[in-house]
């Protein structure tokens, strides 16, 4: 268990010191497991042929749609890698992981709730930003 001496003084002053430490560590472990699962799920869908096949079918069985989505992913990675690297150099990892998780969640909500081409492209860009940020931080 990591040493949390002095890190969470307000939480540790009320009640038992060991219990609060244990709860904090257990909560962090669960959150990390959920985040890792979601990240692995997104990456496995993106990197497998299933996503390409889905885009091919939804796009009217044209390779143009698959190429467009692949181009969006590639261009977004290219454009967002430098700002994400700068952010990582200037801000804490914890803050960037929180922001990246919020952006990933927003992207997935946008992508699955609204079905239009413009929102799909915005959702894919936000998804790429969240993946690039989390990937560089981790």
Give the range among 61-65, 69-73, 121-125 with minimum mean pLDDT: 121-125
pLDDT at position 12, please?
47
pLDDT > 70: percent of the chain: 62
pLDDT at position 6, please?
55
Residue 12 and residue 18: Cα distance in Å, rounded? Answer: 8
Residue 125 and residue 68: Cα distance in Å, rounded? Answer: 12
Comparison of pLDDT for 60 and 2, the residue scoring more? 60
Q: Are 97 and 134 in contact (CB under 8 A)?
A: yes
pLDDT at position 66, please?
82
pLDDT at position 56, please?
82
pLDDT at position 130, please?
64
pTM, two decimals, is 0.45
Predicted confidence (pLDDT) at residue 62 exceeds the cutoff of 80: yes
**Cα 88–chain centre separation:** 15
* Closest C-alpha to 73, from 51, 93, 53: 51
Any idea where the domains of the chain sit in the sequence?
8-47, 62-138
Predicted confidence (pLDDT) at residue 23 exceeds the cutoff of 80: yes
Comparison of pLDDT for 42 and 71, the residue scoring more? 71
């Amino acid at each position: 268990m990591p040493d949390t001496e002095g890190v969470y003084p307000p939480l540790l002053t009320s009640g038992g010191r060991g219990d609060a430490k244990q709860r904090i560590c257990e909560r962090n472990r669960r959150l990390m497991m959920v985040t890792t699962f979601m990240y692995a799920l997104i990456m496995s869908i993106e990197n497998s042929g299933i996503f390409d096949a889905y885009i091919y079918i939804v796009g009217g069985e044209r390779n143009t749609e698959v190429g467009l989505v692949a181009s969006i992913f590639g261009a977004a990675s290219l454009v967002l890698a430098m700002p994400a690297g700068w952010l990582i150099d200037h801000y804490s990892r914890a803050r960037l992981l929180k922001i990246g998780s919020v952006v990933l969640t927003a992207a997935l909500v946008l992508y699955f709730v609204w079905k239009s081409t413009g929102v799909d492209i915005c959702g894919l860009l936000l998804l790429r930003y969240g993946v690039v940020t989390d990937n560089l931080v981790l």
